[in-house]
């Protein structure tokens, strides 16, 4: 390694200047580095703006039609998450409405429910949810379960009150053990908190992969690779650093933007303070760029390296485990998940911003992100060779 | 001069034979271009397999949790043992106090705490209501769900036992009624095991079709432009002169490829991974026809913005994630702000996913998905017209460039 001299710095500056000129000359860069991330941030955050879906449409099939069952139905409507939009004459009609997507679930009260309950014959009331829409289905499941317990208890409670029980005694008799849940640090079960904290960086990472790969490999395509190396004094280090430094700056700004947007503006939980998240974002941006360089090194052909970037970028969303936990995946995938920067970023976010643990508890993830920085050095000579000799093949 | 006097019939015959020529050339181009082949064949072949592999387990089992038992009674021990016995949760440790338990959570060894207060059993013996507290790490909602399900299941069972013991009934039937005057059941009508793959993969499969068409057609258009002297999309040729023959010839070529791709992606893949396949073949076929056509014309319209061969990837790949969410499969469409709902109607994938999920996962017929079905035909019509408009414009462009070039050459010559 040569010592950094004034000459090297001057060359570096020349490459940086050359790169900035290239940015401005193509609207594509502006689109991928600024417009696309900003658009995605806004889309995700505002789409899930309410945090929890409210007033999900549900239906009722009340074949009994007594005052008791009507009361049960009214109670169901009072729940925040559900809104009864229609009554259906029978099961088949409600099922069709569910297939049409008019409702996400329905309450089925068969004929004779009230009389059977009074006669201690234990009638059965059913709630049907549509779990093809997993989130809507799960939310309804929760409401309907509570409702079911209340409905079941309503009849018995009346009897107990008549026997002179107080409300507390009646509840104790009906439900000796209750479950009291404490969802730590996201007590509202806010879906936006749960998804946006990883979706936003994920989209940024995907675009970092693409832009890094494109900006390097396009030099081969345009036949300007030798010009780049000439500007950098035939040093691949100067060429790459000069090329990627302006991008690092822009992408880091975009990363700071989502941090400020999520934690400053939307007030998502950030129990560690913003500092660790900014640090994690910086590491994340650089790790993603390093991963991008590695992709070009492996496939110096523009088309193939972009395909690699797309594949890795899109798979990141699934394999980082923020929706479907990594622990439930195949062991091979569990090991593979470490090769995705988003996985480490997600783990850091959970420990720091969400749970507010000290940084030392997530040291593995920080080291994981740092390790990506060594990746480009493994096959760097190959890239130089490619830049010098490759001819663009469509 | 002769061609201007061509009869209507002659024009139609000419148009049709040109259309088949365009079709043949486009097909040859598709199969001779490795880049296009990656999008049209390799990605639809491999992506669904990767996704199915990732979500293969469908549900999370045995989420690790710890117990803090201040009560230390037989009942609390029984509760913890029963929780451990459920499929959803595994008790990995018993901690002396909450601080120790929180430390286990911090170290990432467990995702939740079951806490029994010291008066847990005493309250029940006194006839008061007693409670179990669950503290859950919220890094994944599925952990929370697993713990809640498991605790609810156990508490219902124990509650029933306690009530029966108190009531001192004589028959089993009386026991049942005491425990629960009205029996209630929750039925997940579709996707009964609450599987993640069953929920997400059908949507991904439909999206793959639209996105690969978008990328493949974009790539092909970018190549045409790069090979063209004036960066134009349409070559100067007598056969490429009519808008209709050009748009329809190309669309027909893509349609042929995607007829095969669709069978694989939407029929073979669900079969390979035993995902729900409630679709009636005729319904599915009828629904896919407008979907594929809408996707093709949609992609052809957007493809005019692609200037270079590879830029389509930078422009279109990242849209997959927002489009998946806009379809309403994850965050319910009914809870989306109106603006984004309207925006989502621009994309065939929104209706395609909703309709396919209804047909494939819920066994709906065309009657139930009529809204989506009509919307897709409407999109087919609109995007067909738009594709014709942009192609017409491109034809005029290349003609103008050719004429300008001709004049320039003549001027230089004289």
Q: Supply the pLDDT for residue A152.
A: 66
> Which chain B residue's Cα is nearest to A141?
B186
Are A181 and B133 a contacting pair at CB < 8 A?
yes
Are B318 and A210 a contacting pair at CB < 8 A?
yes
Q: What are phi and psi of A85, to 5 degrees?
A: -105, -20
Alpha carbon distance B189, B191 (integer Å): 7
Is the Cβ of A307 closer than 8 Å to some Cβ of chain B? Answer: yes
Tell me whether 0.95 is exceeded by the ipTM: no
> Which chain A residue's Cα is nearest to B367?
A100
User: Please, which pLDDT band fits residue B44 given cuts at 50, 70 and 90?
Assistant: very high
Q: Most A CBs within 10 Å: which of B48, B49, B54, as the mutation test of the A interface?
A: B54
Q: Residue A60: CB partners within 8 Å, gap ≥ 6? A: A73, A76, A84, A86, A87, A88, A106, A107, A109
Q: Supply the pLDDT for residue B354.
A: 94
Q: For chain A, give the mean pLDDT.
A: 87
Are A40 and B322 a contacting pair at CB < 8 A?
yes
Nearest CB to A54: which of B152, B335, B357? B335
Q: Supply the pLDDT for residue A135.
A: 79
Are A325 and B142 a contacting pair at CB < 8 A?
yes
User: Please, which pLDDT band fits residue A112 given cuts at 50, 70 and 90?
Assistant: confident
Residues of chain A neighbouring B83 (CB-CB closer than 8 A): none
User: Do the strands A105-109 and A124-130 form a parallel or antiparallel pair, or are they unpaired?
Assistant: antiparallel
Are A329 and B133 a contacting pair at CB < 8 A?
no
> If phi over 0 gives left and psi between -120 and 50 gives alpha, with beta otherwise, what is residue B14?
alpha
Q: For chain B, give the mean pLDDT.
A: 88
Average pLDDT over residues A275-282: 95
Residue A62: beta bridge partners?
Answer: A109
Instruction: Report the gap between the CA of A49 and the closest CA in chain B (Å).
Output: 8
Are A189 and B141 a contacting pair at CB < 8 A?
yes
Class of domain A56-174: alpha beta
Average pLDDT over residues A35-51: 93
Distance of CA B316 to the CA centre of its chain: 16
Are A134 and B362 a contacting pair at CB < 8 A?
no
Give pLDDT tens digits for B54-81.
988 888 889 999 999 999 899 999 999 9
Nearest CB to B159: which of A176, A317, A318? A176
Size of interface A-B (CB pairs under 8 A): 322
Average pLDDT over residues A143-151: 69
Instruction: Report the gap between the CA of B38 and the closest CA in chain A (Å).
Output: 9
Is the Cβ of A30 closer than 8 Å to some Cβ of chain B? Answer: no
Considering the segment(s) B63-179 as one domain, its CATH architecture is 3-Layer(aba) Sandwich (3.40)
Instruction: Report the gap between the CA of B215 and the closest CA in chain A (Å).
Output: 11
Are B176 and A122 a contacting pair at CB < 8 A?
yes
pLDDT above 90 for A340: yes
Percentage of chain B beyond pLDDT 70 is 95
Domain boundaries, chain B: 3-55+195-413, 63-179
Nearest CB to B54: which of A179, A199, A319? A319
> Which chain B residue's Cα is nearest to A152?
B182
Residues of chain B neighbouring A48 (CB-CB closer than 8 A): 331
Nearest CB to A318: which of B51, B331, B369? B51
> Which chain B residue's Cα is nearest to A129?
B188
Alpha carbon distance A357, A122 (integer Å): 50
Residues of chain A neighbouring B90 (CB-CB closer than 8 A): none
Nearest CB to B368: which of A31, A99, A330? A99
Give pLDDT tens digits for B268-292.
998 988 888 888 899 999 999 999 9
Residues of chain A neighbouring B134 (CB-CB closer than 8 A): 179-182
Q: Supply the pLDDT for residue B174.
A: 61
Are A132 and B362 a contacting pair at CB < 8 A?
yes
Q: Residue A180: CB partners within 8 Å, gap ≥ 6? A: B131, B132, B133, B134
Average pLDDT over residues B368-380: 95
pLDDT above 50 for B242: yes
pLDDT above 60 for A241: yes
**B195-218 burial: b if 16+ Cβ within 10 Å, else e:** bbbbbbbbbbbbbbbbbbbbbbbb
Are A171 and B50 a contacting pair at CB < 8 A?
no
Instruction: Report the gap between the CA of B392 and the closest CA in chain A (Å).
Output: 25
Q: What is the pTM of this model?
A: 0.91
Question: Which H or E element spans position B93?
Answer: strand B89-95
Sign of CA dihedral A137, A138, A142, A148: positive
Distance of CA A5 to the CA centre of its chain: 44
Are B310 and A180 a contacting pair at CB < 8 A?
no
Lowest mean per-residue pLDDT among A227-241, B115-129, B173-187, B202-216: B173-187
Q: Is A300 helix (H, G, I), strand (E, B) or coil?
A: coil
Task: Indicate the DSSP class of residue B128.
Answer: -
CB-CB contact of B131 with A179 (8 Å): yes
Higher-scoring residue by pLDDT: B301, B335 = B301
Q: Supply the pLDDT for residue A125.
A: 80
Residue A182: beta bridge partners?
Answer: B135
Write out residues 129-188 of A within 8 Å (CB-CB) of B: 129-138, 141-142, 144-145, 148-149, 151-153, 155-156, 168-169, 171-186
**What are the start-end ranges of the E strands in chain A?**
56-62, 82-87, 105-109, 124-130, 177-184
Average pLDDT over residues A82-97: 90
pLDDT above 50 for B1: no
Q: Supply the pLDDT for residue B176.
A: 56
Domain boundaries, chain A: 6-49+190-389, 56-174
Q: Is B130 helix (H, G, I), strand (E, B) or coil?
A: strand
Higher-scoring residue by pLDDT: A164, A130 = A130
Q: Residue A258: CB partners within 8 Å, gap ≥ 6? A: A37, A41, A200, A201, A204
Nearest CB to B181: which of A155, A183, A324? A155
Residue B148 token pair = 């809640």
């Amino acid at each position: 390694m040569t010592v950094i001299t004034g000459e090297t710095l001057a060359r570096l500056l020349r490459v940086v200047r050359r790169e900035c000129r290239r940015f401005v000359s193509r609207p594509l860069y502006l689109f991928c580095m600024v417009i696309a991330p900003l658009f995605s941030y806004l889309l995700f955050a505002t789409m899930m703006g309410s945090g929890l879906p409210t007033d999900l449409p549900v239906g009722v099939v009340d074949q009994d039609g007594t005052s008791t069952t009507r009361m049960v139905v009214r109670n169901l409507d009072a729940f925040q998450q559900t809104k009864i939009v229609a009554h259906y004459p029978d099961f088949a009609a409600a099922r069709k409405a569910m297939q049409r997507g008019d409702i996400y679930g329905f309450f089925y009260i068969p004929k004779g429910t009230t009389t059977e309950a009074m006669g201690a014959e234990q009638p059965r009331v059913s709630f049907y949810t549509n779990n093809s829409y997993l989130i809507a289905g799960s939310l309804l499941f929760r409401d309907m379960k509570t409702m079911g317990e209340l409905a079941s208890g309503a009849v018995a409670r009346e009897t107990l009150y008549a026997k002179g029980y107080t409300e507390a005694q009646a509840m104790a008799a009906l439900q000796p053990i209750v479950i009291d849940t404490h969802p730590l640090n996201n007590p509202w079960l806010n879906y936006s908190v749960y998804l946006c904290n990883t979706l936003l960086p994920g989209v940024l990472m995907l675009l970092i992969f693409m832009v890094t790969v494109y900006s390097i490999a396009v030099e081969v395509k345009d036949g300007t690779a030798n010009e780049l190396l000439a500007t950098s004094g035939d040093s691949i280090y100067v060429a790459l650093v000069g090329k990627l430094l302006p991008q690092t700056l822009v992408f880091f700004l975009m990363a700071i933007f989502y941090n400020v947007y999520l934690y400053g503006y939307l007030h998502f939980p950030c129990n560690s303070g913003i500092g660790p998240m900014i640090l994690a974002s910086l590491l994340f941006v650089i790790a993603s760029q390093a991963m991008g360089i590695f992709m070009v090194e492996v496939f110096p052909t523009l088309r193939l390296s972009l395909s690699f970037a797309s594949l890795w970028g899109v798979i990141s969303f699934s394999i980082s485990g923020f929706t479907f936990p990594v622990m439930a995946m195949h062991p091979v995938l569990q090991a593979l998940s470490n090769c995705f920067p988003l996985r480490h970023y997600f783990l850091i976010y959970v420990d720091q911003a969400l749970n507010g643990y000290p940084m030392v508890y997530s040291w593995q993830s920080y080291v994981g992100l740092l390790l990506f920085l060594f990746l480009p050095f493994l096959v760097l000579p190959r890239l130089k060779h490619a830049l010098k000799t490759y001819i663009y093949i469509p | 001069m002769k061609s201007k006097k061509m009869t209507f019939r002659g024009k139609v015959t000419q148009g049709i034979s040109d259309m088949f020529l365009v079709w043949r050339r486009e097909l040859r181009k598709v199969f001779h271009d490795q880049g296009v082949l990656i999008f049209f064949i390799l990605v639809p072949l491999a992506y669904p397999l990767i996704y199915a592999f990732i979500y293969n387990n469908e549900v999370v089992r045995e989420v690790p949790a710890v117990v803090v038992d201040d009560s230390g009674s037989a009942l609390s021990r029984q509760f913890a043992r029963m929780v451990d016995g459920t499929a959803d949760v595994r008790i990995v440790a018993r901690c002396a106090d909450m601080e120790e338990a929180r430390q286990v959570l911090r170290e990432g060894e467990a995702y939740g705490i079951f806490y029994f207060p010291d008066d847990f059993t005493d309250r029940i013996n006194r006839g008061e209501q007693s409670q179990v507290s669950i503290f859950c790490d919220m890094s994944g909602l599925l952990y929370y769900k697993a713990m809640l399900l498991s605790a609810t299941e156990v508490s219902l069972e124990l509650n029933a036992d306690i009530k029966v013991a108190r009531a001192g009934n004589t028959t089993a039937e009386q026991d049942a009624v005491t425990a629960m005057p009205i029996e209630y059941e929750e039925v997940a009508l579709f996707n009964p095991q609450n599987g993640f793959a069953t929920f997400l993969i059908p949507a991904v499969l439909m999206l793959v079709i639209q996105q690969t068409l978008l990328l493949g057609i974009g790539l092909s258009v970018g190549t045409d432009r790069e090979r063209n002297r004036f960066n134009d999309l349409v070559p100067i040729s007598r056969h490429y002169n009519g808008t209709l023959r050009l748009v329809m010839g190309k669309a027909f070529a893509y349609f042929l490829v995607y007829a095969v791709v669709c069978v694989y992606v939407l029929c073979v893949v669900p079969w390979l991974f035993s995902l729900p396949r409630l679709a009636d073949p005729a319904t599915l076929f009828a629904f896919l026809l407008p979907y594929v056509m809408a996707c093709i014309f949609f992609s052809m319209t957007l493809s005019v913005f692609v200037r270079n061969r590879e830029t389509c990837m930078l422009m279109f790949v990242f849209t997959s994630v927002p489009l998946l969410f806009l379809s309403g499969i994850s965050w319910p469409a009914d809870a989306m702000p109106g603006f984004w709902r309207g925006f989502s109607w621009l994309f065939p994938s929104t209706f395609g996913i909703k309709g396919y999920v209804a047909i494939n996962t819920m066994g709906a017929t065309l009657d139930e998905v009529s809204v989506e079905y009509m919307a897709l035909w409407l999109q087919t019509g609109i995007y067909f017209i738009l594709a014709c408009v942009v192609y017409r414009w491109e034809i005029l462009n290349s003609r103008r460039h050719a004429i300008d070039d001709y004049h320039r050459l003549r001027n230089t010559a004289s």
